[in-house]
Amino acid sequence: MNGSYNTLIAGVIGSGKSFCEKRIIDALISQGGNMYVLIDPKKVELHQYRNNVGVLQYADDEESIYEALCFVYELMQSRFDDMRANEQTVSTEPHVFVFVDEMAFLMQGSRKKEYVRMMSQVTLMGRAARIHLILCTQVATQDVIPACIRDNMTNIVCLRQRDAGKYRYLLGSFPGKLPMIGKAYVYTPMMCEPEKIDTEKVWEAINR
């Protein structure tokens, strides 16, 4: 695995974001050897994974979420220090996948600016350090997913959106037909245009 796995999963309430996110976690767990940071503001979506092997942090309230994201940022910096000391350009440490079940929670509080700074830097530089963000959002607008984060997301998983503008913000165009439950428009660097894919198979498409 040497790809870039930063992924944005966006869709209205009940469109299947958490379902899709959990299928990705299941695929990573069955592959083995990965590490995870789970940010679960709703407290029930990722709770089932908190004791899994490789889970470095599970955070479900304001303070623990802040600590977990600072931990991720500092881990990235320390991996870069190690890489420089060892004259490596890519880390040989295990991949760390940071799942955020709902971005709006992070973007509403007083720490928004700091979160945007840390997360955009992780999306920019994390690949070499093998640290990847998988972000879920109900709302695909600039105030919840700033362009500096959106533009660094390698993979977009676009479930059902509220209006055509949201598809354009995510995919660059409105595909015309809305995806039904269980389907998403997925856009990865291996695709010329968004493809409609079963949400169960999103990780396969990202890893293609």
The site for Mg ion (CB under 5 A) is made up of 17-18
Interaction between residue 179 and ligand ATP (CB under 6 A)? no
178 scored as a contact of ligand ATP (CB under 6 A): no
State how far Cα 29 lies from the chain centre. Answer: 16
Give me the least distance between CB of 201 and Mg ion, in Å please. 19
**Stretch touching ligand ATP by CB under 6 A, among 16-24, 61-69, 81-89, 104-112:** 16-24
**Residue closer to ligand ATP (CB basis): 81 or 143:** 143
- Other C-beta atoms lying within 10 Å of the C-beta of residue 49: 18
Closest to ligand ATP by CB, 41 vs 194, is 41
From the list 80, 84, 64, the residue with the least C-alpha distance to 126 is 80
Closest approach of Cβ 133 to ligand ATP, in Å?
A: 17
Q: Are 179 and 10 spatial neighbours (Cβ–Cβ below 8 Å)?
A: no
Of 25, 15, 22, give the one whose Cα is nearest residue 45. Answer: 22
Binding residue (CB under 6 A) for ligand ATP from 5, 7, 17, 144: 17
CA gyration radius for the chain?
16
The smaller minimum CB distance to ligand ATP, of residues 143 and 200, is found at 200
16, amino acid identity: G
The strand ranges marked E within the chain are: 7-10, 35-39, 55-59, 96-100, 131-137, 155-158, 183-187, 195-198
* Residue 155 sits in the site that holds ligand ATP (CB under 6 A): no
Rounded distance between C-alpha atoms, residue 161 and residue 91, angstroms: 37
Least distance from C-beta 169 to ligand ATP, angstroms?
Answer: 17
Which does residue 137 touch among ligand ATP, Mg ion, none (CB within 5 to 8 A, set by kind)?
A: none
Q: How far is the CB of 35 from ligand ATP (least distance, A)?
A: 23
Among positions 70, 180, 181, 190, the unique one binding ligand ATP when judged by CB under 6 A: 181
- HSE toward the beta carbon, residue 89, CA cutoff 13 A: 1
Site residues (vs ligand ATP, CB under 6 A): 11, 13-19, 138, 181-182, 199-200
